[in-house]
Amino acid sequence: MLVTCGNIRKHCQPSYRGKMTYAQIAKDYKKNCQAIENGYIRHFSATDKAVVRAVESEYPEGKRYPHQYRIPKSALREAKDLLETVKFNKGKSFDAIHELVKKAIEGVSGIGELIIYDIAHRIGASLRIKPQDVYLHCGTREGAKKLPGYKKGMKKMPLSLIPKELRHLGAEHLENCLCIYSKNLP
C-alpha cells in the first residue's frame, strides 16, 4: 500500500497519461504497482512491533513515505504513545481496527484521515486483516468521485459499487489504485 499517490511515487505511476478504461487501469495497476504494494504489505505483516512500524510511516529501507513527510515527528511520537495503549486483537475486522486507530489519534495535531487509514492498514497487515471496503481520503476520494457508484460524503465505498472491471483488485489495492489513477479514470 501501501497508501500512495501516483504523483509522488515514481515507480508506481500510470504508463499512460490520458483517460483509460477501467480494464486498462486494472491491467496497468497489476503490471506496475501491485507487486510493489504487496511487498510493502508483507513488510508490515512480518513484524512484532506493528504499532511502532505503522506509525513510523517508513518504507522497508527506512525512508518515510513521501505523502507523510510533512507530519511532524512530535505528532507521530504522540500517536505512537497513544496507540501503544490500544489492544488490537487478531479476530477484529479492519473496520474495528480503523475505528480504534481513529478514536485514539484523531485529536493529535498534524494527524489526518490519510495517516489514520495508513496506520490502520499497516496494523491490519500485521494481523493479516484486510479492508473489505475502499476507504476514501485525499487522492482516493478524487478517484472515487469519478465512479458511477460514488455518493457525496462517503467515507468508504463498498466493493459492490466499484465497476466490475476494477473490483477484482480488492479493497486494499483499490484504495491505492483510485489515488494513482485518479486522473486516468473515465
Structural domain boundaries, residue 83: 22-131
H/E segment holding residue 158 = strand 156-158
Using alpha carbons only, what angle is made at residue 39 by residues 8 and 68, rounded to the nearest 5 degrees?
35
Any domain includes 44: yes
116, 98 contact by CB (below 8 A): yes
Read off the C-alpha cell for 152. Answer: 457525496
One-letter amino acid for residue 100 of the chain: L
Would 171 be classed as within a structural domain? no
In this predicted structure, what is the pLDDT of residue 8? 38
Tally the domains of the chain. 1
Q: Which of 45, 111, 47 is nearest to 77 (CA)?
A: 111
Q: Is the residue at 82 inside a domain?
A: yes
* The pLDDT of residue 103: 95
Domain membership of residue 161 (yes or no) is no
pTM: 0.85
Among 145, 146, 134, 148, CA closest to 176 = 134
How confident is the model at residue 90, as a pLDDT? 63
87 domain-assigned: yes
pLDDT of residue 43: 62
Task: Answer for the pair 139, 92: CB distance below 8 angstroms, yes or no.
Answer: no
| 15 in any annotated domain | no
Q: What's the pLDDT at 2?
A: 33
Mean pLDDT, the chain, whole residue set = 85
* 17 found inside a domain: no
Which stretches of the chain drop beneath a pLDDT of 50? 1-10
- The confidence score (pLDDT) of residue 44 equals 62
Q: Is residue 156 part of a domain?
A: no
- pLDDT the model gives residue 68: 78
Cell 479492508, located at residue: 131
